[in-house]
Amino acid sequence: MNNNQAELAYTIRLFDKRTRLGHIGYMSAIAKSRIDPELKRQAEAVLEEIGLKPRAALELFYRQIIKRRAIPFPVQADSPEDDVLSPAARRNQLADEF
C-alpha cells in the first residue's frame, strides 16, 4: 500500500466515525443559538423527566416545522392578567366572584 492509499484508507475510517442515525444519514450540521441560561436549565430538566435529549428535542422541533410548514404550536401574546394570575388562581378568583 502506497502513501496515497494509506491516506485514503485513514480518511475513510474518519468519515465512518461520524454519528449515523439509521436511514437519516450522517449528522454533520451544527445549529448554534444563544439562549437564557435559566430557560435552558428549566427546559432541559423537563426533557430529562420525559427521557429526551436536547438534541433529539431540537430535531423533533425542526422535523415538525418542515412537516407543518409552520411553528408546531400556537404562537400568541399573553394577556396582562396572565402575568399576575396563574390559571388556578384565576379559576379561584372567578369562583369567588359568584
The model's pLDDT over 51-88, given as tens digits with 9 standing for 90+, comes to 999 999 999 999 999 999 999 988 877 776 665 656 66
pLDDT attached to residue 18: 52
Report the chain's C-alpha Rg in angstroms. Answer: 24
Instruction: Please give the pLDDT value at position 53.
Output: 94
Domain ranges of the chain: 37-73
Cβ atoms 30, 58 nearer than 8 A: no
pTM, rounded to two decimals: 0.53
What does the pLDDT read at residue 92? 72
Residue 44 predicted with pLDDT over 90: yes
Q: Write down the pLDDT at residue 43.
A: 95
Of residues 16, 34, 14, the one with CA closest to residue 25: 16
Q: Is the dihedral of CA 32, 35, 41, 46 positive or negative?
A: negative
Q: How many CB atoms lie within 10 A of CB 95?
A: 8
